[in-house]
């Protein structure tokens, strides 16, 4: 989920892909300050962090935290955040 603020005006949550928001009403002539906050999952905080399947689990429950047969000492983090920089796109004619 993304939370967007433009020039101090809260645009709001953008919870789903393709993560687009109309910020037109908050823009001013000249420079503008656009802030994008990424609201993350707790997967990398709470785990399971040591399961060999990493994030390829169909479910997560108590068994994934104490499954000795699938335990690894290495941490299995999930990539999260911006995959590429945000883009401002001007759409005309709609």
* Structure confidence by residue, pLDDT tens digits, 40-50: 888 888 888 88
Distances (CA, A) of 50 to 14, 67, 71, 81: 31, 9, 6, 21
Q: How many residues comprise the chain? A: 94
What is the predicted pLDDT for the residue at 4? Answer: 97
Considering all CA atoms of the chain, what is the largest pairwise distance in Å, rounded to the nearest integer? 61
What is the predicted pLDDT for the residue at 17? Answer: 85
What percentage of the chain carries pLDDT values higher than 70? 95
Lowest mean pLDDT among 8-12, 14-18, 43-47, 63-67: 63-67
What is the predicted pLDDT for the residue at 12? Answer: 93
């Amino acid at each position: 989920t993304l939370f967007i603020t433009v020039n101090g005006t809260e645009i709001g949550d953008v919870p789903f892909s393709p993560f687009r928001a109309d910020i037109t009403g908050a823009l001013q002539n000249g420079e503008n300050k656009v802030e994008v906050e990424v609201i993350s999952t707790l997967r990398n905080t709470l785990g399971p962090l040591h399961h060999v399947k990493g994030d390829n689990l169909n479910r997560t429950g108590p068994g994934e935290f104490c499954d000795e047969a699938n335990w690894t000492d290495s941490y299995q983090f999930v990539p999260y955040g911006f995959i590429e920089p945000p883009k401002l796109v001007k759409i005309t004619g709609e």
